[in-house]
Amino acid sequence: MWAYLESGAREGVTRDEAHDAWRSVRLWPRVLHGEDAPDARTSVLGTPVRTPVGVAPTSLQRVAHPDGELAMAAGAAAAGAVHVVSSNAGHLLDEIGAAARAVDPAAVWWLQAYLPPDREQAAPVLRAAAAAGARAVALTVDTPFPGTKYEPAEEDWEGIDLSWHRINFTDPAAYRHHRGLRPEDLAWIRETCGLPVVVKGVLRPDDARRCVEAGAAAVWVSNHGGRQLDRVVSTATALPQVVAAVGAEAEVYVDGGVRSGIDVLTALGLGARAVLVGRPALHALASDGAAGVAGLLDTLTEELLEALELAGCGSLQGARTVVAPPDLCSP
Ligand SMILES: Cc1cc2nc3c(=O)[nH]c(=O)nc-3n(C[C@H](O)[C@H](O)[C@H](O)COP(=O)(O)O)c2cc1C
């Protein structure tokens, strides 16, 4: 299952470039500004969180740890981080919501959704998420079908209980991805469950505008961790144009290859409001369950605060002033 968690689409070009794209951006620290020590607290969609780092949705978490999404929820709640639950989760949404609330009644989690051709199949899941305490729905738009990956091999799935990843659907076998998503689907989700919609998987400024015009509360720059179309642009490269196109009309988030607090600082500096991690959260879950996840998020947040202060920023907002212009980015 390691191969499943790590895999990228096709030759893995996009997956492999993701982290280096953050590393290639240069910082431009400020001095003599008399700034206080920064604080990581912020909000997402108006809800307070203790860190701008969150957990991206990943399917099949029970292959990483027997407590799967329950442990991921508890770990994220302990760190005060937003947790986005994959619709391909292995625990029921109300159990996941309860696991988060047991750690912190103010824990923030969202449901990630794919929409099947027959929308009504998704409606019960969306309503169950709202009833279980989800604060938003992240609609993944980069996955008309799962992109081809060369690993893992068919036989590696032997012994894995795949019913785990469809436990929240009434008719799992009939549930499929949908090729023809449209801006109107955002309004349908809002009307169906009453939650704001975040659009996950946007790389282009023109599409980001279409999301905002269709009523998206946030646009999430992502290439699915390089698991859909190989050789697409890295998220670090795509982010600035999306931020410019969205302006103050919606929040912008980003994921892909974020592996350190300095990566997080860079993403905030390029205009993201929140920064999410996929594979690192799975690694943390596999190594030490909820404690591992909380430890990962706390470490990324501490690294972010150290980097912010060394960059001369007294707040998260200050990050916007310390990314060097492109002509200073090559050594
Ligand atoms: C094993 C795995 C499963 C994933 N499953 C989903 C999913 O169910 N829904 C979704 O929107 N994104 C899914 N993603 C993509 C992540 O949400 C995220 O975009 C990506 O992992 C970020 O890159 P990173 O792993 O480099 O942090 C998955 C990623 C991985 C690695």
pLDDT in tens, 133-150: 999 999 999 999 999 999
Specify burial of residue 77 (Cβ count, 10 A radius: 0-12, 13-18, 19+). Answer: buried
Residue 34 CA to ligand 1 center (angstroms) comes to 40
Non-local (6+) Cβ contacts of 117 within 8 A are 176, 178, 180
Angstrom distance (rounded) from CA 193 to CA 124 = 9
Q: Is the dihedral of CA 180, 186, 191, 194 positive or negative?
A: positive
91, 165, 224, 283: the active-site residue: 224
Q: How confident is the model at residue 233 (pLDDT cuts 50, 70, 90)?
A: very high
pTM of the shown model: 0.98
- Distance from Cα 279 to the centre of ligand 1, integer Å: 7
292 lines ligand 1 (CB under 6 A): no
- CA–CA gap between residue 88 and residue 305 (Å, rounded): 33
> In this predicted model, what pLDDT tens digit does every residue of 88-113 receive, in sequence order?
999 999 999 999 999 999 999 999 99
Q: Identify the structural domains of the chain with CATH numbers, from first to last.
A: 2-26+42-304 (3.20.20.70)
Amino acid identity of residue 101, one-letter, is: R
d(CA 298, CA 79): 6
Pairing of strands 83-85, 47-49: unpaired
Q: How confident is the model at residue 249 (pLDDT cuts 50, 70, 90)?
A: very high
DSSP type of residue 194: -
Instruction: Enumerate residues 6+ apart whose C-beta is below 8 A from 270.
Output: 25, 236, 239, 240, 243, 254, 323
- Nearest protein Cα to ligand 1, atom 4: 58
Residue 173's pLDDT band, with cuts at 50, 70 and 90, is low
What does 228-246 look like in DSSP terms, one character per residue?
SSTTPPPHHHHHHHHHHHH
Q: In the predicted model, is pLDDT for residue 327 greater than 70?
A: yes
- At residue 159, the pLDDT reads 82
89 in contact with ligand 1, CB cutoff 6 A? no
Nearest CA to ligand 1 atom 21: 278
> Does 224 participate in catalysis according to the annotation?
yes
Testing ligand 1's pocket by substitution, the residue of 4, 219, 227, 264 carrying the most ligand atoms inside 8 A of its CB is: 227
**Distance in Å, CA 278 to ligand 1 centroid:** 5
14 lines ligand 1 (CB under 6 A): no
Q: Tell me the C-alpha distance between 302 and 155, whole Å.
A: 41
